[in-house]
Structure 1
Amino acid sequence: MPSVEKWNIMELNKNLGGKMNEAALIEMGEYLRNIKIPDVSDNTNFWLIRTMKGYFYDEFINQNYVALGWNFVTQNTSFDKMNIEILKDQIKERYEDKRPGVAINKCIRFIEEVKSGDYVLIPNSGSSEITIGILGEYYEEEFDYLEELSTIKKIENKEFEIGNIKCPYRKRRKMKKLLTISSGRLGYKILKGISSYHGISDMNEYDVDILNCLYNCYTYKGNMMYSLNIAKKEPIKARELSKLMYGITELFCNLTEEDLVTVTINLNSPGKVTVVLKEGYDKLKKGAIPLLAIYLFVFGGSGFGFEFPGLAKGIINTIEEYRTMETEVELKKEELKGKQLENYKAAMEVINMSKDTENDIDIDKVLKDLKLIDELNDSLKFESNIDFAKGIKESEE
């Protein structure tokens, strides 16, 4: 993601002679010039890797890796049928493991099936928070199985506090942290998935739920996904839900074919609303992408890697105002310079697009639907994924 030049929004407004609408346009233009929708490969896998009851959780995050035990098994171990039977006896003898075949399968999975670009969930002690990351290349450290057994025994005897003992596991994969999320904000489906206590578990059936935690907008398996986080803790009222669903469905059905829009709700107060645009880009109407980007921009979305606390609330009114004006970018060259001018131009391109009667989108209705959803913000408390992930504990401090 390219770096974004920041400025003091109040100073910018002062320089523009108090024209807050132009400051809002410049902020929106910066966003539009740098948007990049994450495109998740169809071949991506999703994993859960345990942290030895949380003892290695901080080390995994701080040193950017994950690891798996059974040091006796390495990347040089032969996994052919004949050697597997010998290996079972060796694992059983050294680890007193009653199910050596299961241990071997986990090692094979970690070495051969897990790949760079896969997503991983790692839980802390008690699974009160989960860190989600992207996995990198496989490597090994020079630890033998005796060091591993010694460390495990010390943990079982509670000789060390959590975080005060080094991970002795040999088999490792690099990991880039993306987001740490409170378990209360994961949703019941993922919570069900992380109930497994295996060292490594397949989480592919929770793929969309995991991606929704990370991105407010992304493409995956040919579809485009949009999610809206609702941080309200109290029960959602019937009319709130009705207005929300009406605004969302009307907005997205105006941008693509109605039969291709589906909405799923996981509203446990807090919770999520997810919109799936089947066939994604292929079926969007001309000019839909910038409008969808504005939807995220206004409602706190972090799907493009941006967090704008500035003037997002004024964007809808600003677009409406400028659509009725004959505005020449050339007139702004004396007032605006560098990136501010480029951002202003990017915003004006969207304004001019909204005047195009051939794009088959009712812009007035889109803006009306955006306003309808925005009216619910005070009560439903829309949040970006970063803020939503903090959960109940941090938000109440």
Structure 2
Amino acid sequence: MFENLLENFKTIDSEKGYWFVRTDKGENFQAFSDFNFIGIGWNYITNRELNDNLNNGLDIKQKIASRERLDLRASADKRKVTSIYNKLIHFKNLRSGDLIIIPNEGSNLLGFGTIADDGIFEDPNDRRCDYIKRRRIIWNKFLTFSELDNIYYAIIKTRHAISNVKPYQSYIDKTVDNIFIKNDAFHYVIDVTKRDDINVNSLLELMNSINNIADVIEQTLNLHDDENDRTVKLNLQSPGKIELIYKNKKILAILSLILLMPLNINSIDNDLNLSNSEKEIIIEISSRCQEDLEVTDRTFDELEALKNRINN
């Protein structure tokens, strides 16, 4: 039962990369966002040179030193050359599916996208952007800085042309997606938009009701769940997020559908191709949990939570 349900939800590869790419103080933000690419400077280093890249990049480093008028015999200059070289190699090695964040001027708007393929392309004739070496991007969303967790202050603080921000992946994942599977666990992120103080009793009621519904799902389907494998991450800075993480992926997948069901069960059914028997079980569980669902509906309203926002 519900064997194919999890195939309908996005799985995030734990090996994917997360990168913050500068836009030359916002100058290239519009071109990047409008025309679905990112780029990097140092045009005198070609894509072919990066792909050949013999002798640990010695030829490339010598070319960088020459063009930037740096002396590889001086330790400070050598570090500068190595820094440029490493940025170019990071850009070359971006993989399809890696997540990219770009800032506009002033970093009050950030774009979130994914690398669309595995190779650099060059466009020396496009004057909308001076960067010739480019990577194709599929943009997921653009968010104002006020909509984001304070952790993004640390992300935008870097001044490098391209920076590895994988240490912040757990924050980035729940910024981009609301429901996903990662590291063999199911994640359901609830956006709380309330700007006033959060009522503790409302929050406790919500968590208790959600746990009760999960218990009924476990008992109905005989899923042998260990409650120690259910965790919650709270980041309620008004607005903020509630992230439910269950090792028993099927329980949380069904729970998310039940929380959504009062909105439009037929829409959920059509989107996820539930069988009639699976749909009947969801309705049965919902009936048994009617009192808890009334609590969740009320507390969602009190928290101004966007429970129906699924990956959008």
Normalised TM-score (structure 1):
0.64
1:111-145 CA distances to partner (integer Å, 9 max, x unpaired)?
1x21111111111111111111111233333549x
- Paired residue for 2:222? none
Q: 2:291 aligns with which of 359, 368, 392?
A: 368
- Paired residue for 1:221? 183
2:258·2:282 contact (CA, 8 Å) conserved in 1? Answer: no
1:263·1:275 contact (CA, 8 Å) conserved in 2? Answer: yes
Q: 1:236 aligns with which of 179, 192, 198?
A: 198
1:222-280 CA distances to partner (integer Å, 9 max, x unpaired)?
111111000001111222222223233333455442011010111000000001112x4
- Paired residue for 1:15? none
- Paired residue for 1:36? 8
- Partner SS, residue 225 of structure 1: strand
Residue ranges of structure 1 left out of the alignment (5+ in a row): 1-31, 148-164, 299-310, 319-338, 357-361, 390-397
Q: 2:63 aligns with which of 65, 87, 90?
A: 87
Q: Which sits farther off after the overlay, 346-355 or 43-52?
A: 346-355
Q: Which sits farther off after the overlay, 170-179 or 68-77?
A: 68-77
1:122·1:130 contact (CA, 8 Å) conserved in 2? Answer: yes
- Paired residue for 2:122? 141
1:91·1:100 contact (CA, 8 Å) conserved in 2? Answer: no
- 1:93/1:232 Cα in 2 relative to 1: closer, same or farther (>3 Å)? same
1:88·1:101 contact (CA, 8 Å) conserved in 2? Answer: no
AA aligned opposite 2:13: S
1:65·1:173 contact (CA, 8 Å) conserved in 2? Answer: yes
- 1:61/1:85 Cα in 2 relative to 1: closer, same or farther (>3 Å)? closer
Q: Quick one: distance in 2 between partners of 1:205 and 1:121?
A: 14
1:135·1:174 contact (CA, 8 Å) conserved in 2? Answer: yes
AA aligned opposite 1:132: F
Q: How many residues were matched structurally? A: 288
Indicate yes or no: 2:237 matched with 1:268. Answer: yes
- 1:195/1:370 Cα in 2 relative to 1: closer, same or farther (>3 Å)? farther
Q: Quick one: distance in 1 between partners of 2:14 and 2:311?
A: 26
2:17·2:94 contact (CA, 8 Å) conserved in 1? Answer: yes
| Aligned pairs for 1:1-397 within 5 A | 36-77=8-49, 78-81=53-56, 82-93=58-69, 99-111=80-92, 113-137=93-117, 138-143=119-124, 166-254=128-216, 255=218, 256-278=225-247, 280-281=248-249, 284=250, 289-295=253-259, 297=260, 312=263, 349-354=277-282, 366-383=289-306
2:114·2:137 contact (CA, 8 Å) conserved in 1? Answer: yes
- Partner SS, residue 375 of structure 1: helix
- 1:386/1:364 Cα in 2 relative to 1: closer, same or farther (>3 Å)? closer
- Partner SS, residue 116 of structure 2: strand
- Partner SS, residue 219 of structure 1: strand
Q: Which sits farther off after the overlay, 77-86 or 45-54?
A: 77-86
Q: Which sits farther off after the overlay, 368-377 or 66-75?
A: 368-377
Percent identical pairs in the alignment equals 23
1:251·1:366 contact (CA, 8 Å) conserved in 2? Answer: yes
Q: Quick one: distance in 2 between partners of 1:40 and 1:174?
A: 20
- Partner SS, residue 296 of structure 2: helix
2:12·2:182 contact (CA, 8 Å) conserved in 1? Answer: yes
Residue ranges of structure 2 left out of the alignment (5+ in a row): 71-75, 219-224
1:49·1:201 contact (CA, 8 Å) conserved in 2? Answer: yes
2:189·2:241 contact (CA, 8 Å) conserved in 1? Answer: yes
Q: Quick one: distance in 1 between partners of 2:91 and 2:293?
A: 46
1:230·1:381 contact (CA, 8 Å) conserved in 2? Answer: yes
Relative CO higher for 1 or 2, CA cutoff 8 Å, sep ≥ 6? 1
1:216·1:384 contact (CA, 8 Å) conserved in 2? Answer: no
Normalised TM-score (structure 2):
0.80
2:123·2:133 contact (CA, 8 Å) conserved in 1? Answer: no
Deviation at 1:166, TM superposition (A): 2.4
